[in-house]
Chains A and B, each alone.
Chain A
């Protein structure tokens, strides 16, 4: 209370040091000091392992048992939270709120969202009547733009989409009117358009409720978008703190400079003419025509049909890096299950090297699977937890009965070496591997069969930028050596822009646009593509402004789709015809296709010939 700036700053961290206990105890945070003024938004950015999350949790007094605060103080309104535990626990959830990056895990699945919010509020403020608490919760749910908040209040978390759950978590944090909100990686699991809305929302709430926000994230563009100031954390130290504009224009620290330099860009490098290099006179390795799949769900309202995938059309050529982008819930994962034969389509055909995956017999499908493989998204869930690394890589060979035991061993070792894992790990468990190493292991498992086509289902989305870059290099090297064809299923536009030669954009189960890379990014044919591009996190000058491209709101439910174009409800250019008829993919010339009536104004649709 002695220093003048202590009374000004809401939160003031001085020399905070956190160490891991035990032998070889590492220093996780090394003398972190910073101030956060009331109503300020401070973005904290750093790669994984830089101590961001430990910092966030240290502030709310939530430390993993093996971690220990060894020095420093955390002053909140001038009182030290580390020494004054009682004060700290009184503040937690009231004055200091915390939102984590996993909304699905943070909400209790057995209670309605509303009941949880009311319970939280009344635990903190017992004097508020249940009725008032409910009114406040609904008001806040409206404030975070949850549609028909009064009804949604009574719904269970599983009825919410990912973006809505994250909003509900924000309400949960704000309901007790905290002075400080710590948002730990809240936009990472969200789609770009939803994440952009959440960011906008955070800023509005900051003005409306005068909450100071510590916004922790691992993406520089998002951090710059969100914060008044950006603080860069590297190896447990604060290396730099600047305003976003200053940081981008004149980074002080070497690490920040490297971070900015290696940031992939969407448009800054301009066109390099890679579209022109593509040869299209070969037979497609995978060709998808009119694929549809619907699921039946049973809810309170009786049976409903969810149209997860419909009207999907595209071709993948040998040696291509084909990108498939779209927001979550757009049917990417359902489509992945269809492409890999895990499920059969209701209609349409999926031809892989001339054979239909959708109708192949079980044994035929097993044979086909030697030639196309899938690399899954979740680095932790997709490896069998109790198999040794070598056994995991050998498994596909065993399944297909290839080679003798020693041949299998040699091939597995070779595959491990190729993806950059040491074959000394052969008999170890994957338990100690990092996310990046696990994804390498998954790639090794997929490529040991020497497939022709690898489907990457959000394989890189769990990794940080540096690790992503390394894996992309690996993919390129493997492609050069083995002639793989890749399908990247992703919501990360910058990644797709870097590596893909041809890209399909999906919206609500449909492919709305299929175009070569540069055509898509510089001359998108569908308003939805433009909306996606406008929301992509980037530091560059945007070619498309969010205000012009996307109306507020979330995609309609795939259960009762409106007639006409599915995007019409959010499209600023929609006109009458869009709400009556459904547009189909039609050629825009030069191998670019889009499903939009606006194109008719410019050129006449050429049906079918399309995919050549």
Chain B
């Protein structure tokens, strides 16, 4: 890494692309490696474990219900390393399949949210004037409707499938991003280099997407990573209300909702998906934070 730190004048081997330098600098940190190992383990386990182990997460076995995780009480067994729930379903398998759905919902919701919000903010902030007014009043209108009421209304009328949940959550969360994006774009738009690009003959769209968006998106994306967790939790809130993903499909939301009733005698039902949630988000955040730091230090002149 030391070559990256030498100032400009030194004769050095060819420089790599900036994006490559950011990645390699982030990769050099311990945080990033830990995050990556944890995330990859979880992802691989979620993809392969239910298949390889041959355990069906929805298969009930009333005889072995409410088994605790290993070493955690009476009657545990290696066959059920994280115990079973009230219907005797394997918690590990359920949590890993739940992780699939929760990640799917969390990530796609956030992407939808950021995409819609960023576009609204970008257009409003860049063009200003009447476009800004119209888009921002739309945003205000959307902000005025509480997310949960919107979700209840829509999901109560239509069938709560995974795509509809993603759309409902995504379309109710974008106004904050639109607001943040708009102000960031407005301040960048006034800068000299934007004027410079205009004089070079760049079109508005080119300036917006090639010049301004890469500058303002990373901090927003960083916040969005945190929102993945929020969206997973929102999904569980919906599940709790009976408007989430319908059983028997496991998601973190409905597992936790189920486990609530057994919290006193089978704490693990609610805890295990919670731990998975924490691990997933921590690993994503660790990677995100090191990327952000690497990015700042590279652009800061190191």
Q: What string of 1s and 0s marks CB contacts (under 8 Å) between A389-400 and chain B?
A: 000000110011
User: Residue of A at shortest CB range from B12?
Assistant: A424
A432 on interface, CB distance cutoff 8 Å: yes
User: Residue of A at shortest CB range from B200?
Assistant: A396
Q: What string of 1s and 0s marks CB contacts (under 8 Å) between B152-167 and chain A?
A: 0000000000000000
Q: Are A395 and B197 in contact (CB under 8 A)?
A: yes
B148 on interface, CB distance cutoff 8 Å: no
Q: A340-B199, A386-B299 are in contact. Are A425 and B8 (CB under 8 A)?
A: yes
B19 to chain A, nearest CB (A): 10
Interface size on A, residues (CB 8 A): 36
User: Residue of B at shortest CB range from A432?
Assistant: B8
Q: What string of 1s and 0s marks CB contacts (under 8 Å) between B266-302 and chain A?
A: 0000000000000000000000000000000011110
Q: What string of 1s and 0s marks CB contacts (under 8 Å) between B162-180 and chain A?
A: 0000000000000000000
Q: Are B197 and A376 in contact (CB under 8 A)?
A: no
Q: Are B201 and A399 in contact (CB under 8 A)?
A: yes
Q: Are A376 and B195 in contact (CB under 8 A)?
A: yes
Chain A neighbourhood of B192, CB < 8 A:
376-378, 381-382
B14 on interface, CB distance cutoff 8 Å: yes
> How far is A203 from B254 in the complex, measured between Cα atoms in Å?
79
B52 to chain A, nearest CB (A): 44
Q: Are B199 and A342 in contact (CB under 8 A)?
A: yes
B191 on interface, CB distance cutoff 8 Å: yes
User: Residue of B at shortest CB range from A430?
Assistant: B301
A366 on interface, CB distance cutoff 8 Å: yes
- Per a CB cutoff under 8 Å, which of B15, B195, B201 touches A369? B201
B18 on interface, CB distance cutoff 8 Å: yes
Q: What string of 1s and 0s marks CB contacts (under 8 Å) between B1-31 and chain A?
A: 0000001100110111110000000000000
Q: A386-B215, A425-B8, A427-B16 are in contact. Are A373 and B199 (CB under 8 A)?
A: yes
Q: A427-B16, A432-B8 are in contact. Are A384 and B201 (CB under 8 A)?
A: no
User: Residue of B at shortest CB range from A337?
Assistant: B195
A445 on interface, CB distance cutoff 8 Å: yes
**Size class of the contact patch on chain B:** 20 to 34
**Contact residues of A between 399 and 435, Cβ < 8 Å to B:** 399-400, 424-429, 431-433
User: Residue of B at shortest CB range from A395?
Assistant: B200
> How far is A373 from B198 in the complex, measured between Cα atoms in Å?
10
A445 to chain B, nearest CB (A): 7
> How far is A376 from B199 in the complex, measured between Cα atoms in Å?
10
- Per a CB cutoff under 8 Å, which of A374, A388, A400 touches B18? A388
B71 on interface, CB distance cutoff 8 Å: no
Chain B neighbourhood of A426, CB < 8 A:
15
Chain A neighbourhood of B214, CB < 8 A:
386
A35 to chain B, nearest CB (A): 37
Chain A neighbourhood of B137, CB < 8 A:
none
User: Residue of A at shortest CB range from B301?
Assistant: A431
Chain B neighbourhood of A442, CB < 8 A:
196
A370 on interface, CB distance cutoff 8 Å: yes
Q: Are A382 and B15 in contact (CB under 8 A)?
A: no
Q: What string of 1s and 0s marks CB contacts (under 8 Å) between A431-447 and chain B?
A: 11100000000100100
A385 on interface, CB distance cutoff 8 Å: yes
Q: A384-B211, A386-B214 are in contact. Are A428 and B15 (CB under 8 A)?
A: yes
A235 on interface, CB distance cutoff 8 Å: no
Q: What string of 1s and 0s marks CB contacts (under 8 Å) between B187-230 and chain A?
A: 00001110111111111001000010011000000000000000
Interface of A is mostly: loop
A150 on interface, CB distance cutoff 8 Å: no
Q: Are A427 and B7 in contact (CB under 8 A)?
A: no
Chain A neighbourhood of B18, CB < 8 A:
386, 388, 427, 429
Chain A neighbourhood of B201, CB < 8 A:
365-367, 369-370, 396, 399-400
> How far is A382 from B199 in the complex, measured between Cα atoms in Å?
12
A383 on interface, CB distance cutoff 8 Å: yes
Chain A neighbourhood of B301, CB < 8 A:
429, 431-432
Q: Are A385 and B215 in contact (CB under 8 A)?
A: yes
- Per a CB cutoff under 8 Å, which of B14, B17, B203 touches A388? B17
- Per a CB cutoff under 8 Å, which of A374, A383, A399, A433 touches B193? A383
User: Residue of B at shortest CB range from A372?
Assistant: B199
> How far is A510 from B12 in the complex, measured between Cα atoms in Å?
53
B206 to chain A, nearest CB (A): 7
B7 to chain A, nearest CB (A): 6
Chain B neighbourhood of A341, CB < 8 A:
199
Chain B neighbourhood of A376, CB < 8 A:
192, 195-196
Chain B neighbourhood of A400, CB < 8 A:
201
Q: Are B200 and A431 in contact (CB under 8 A)?
A: no
Most buried by A among B18, B192, B211, B299: B192
Q: Are A424 and B11 in contact (CB under 8 A)?
A: yes
User: Residue of A at shortest CB range from B194?
Assistant: A384
Chain A neighbourhood of B16, CB < 8 A:
427
Q: Are B199 and A374 in contact (CB under 8 A)?
A: yes
- Per a CB cutoff under 8 Å, which of B14, B203, B211 touches A427? B14
B130 to chain A, nearest CB (A): 16
B15 to chain A, nearest CB (A): 4
8 A-B residue pairs with CB within 8 Å? A340-B199, A342-B195, A342-B198, A367-B201, A378-B192, A386-B215, A386-B299, A399-B197
List the 8 closest pairs (A to B, CB-CB), nearest first: A431-B301, A382-B192, A427-B15, A381-B192, A369-B201, A374-B199, A366-B201, A396-B200
Listed in ascending order, the chain B residues whose CB lies under 8 Å from chain A are 7-8, 11-12, 14-18, 191-193, 195-203, 206, 211, 214-215, 298-301
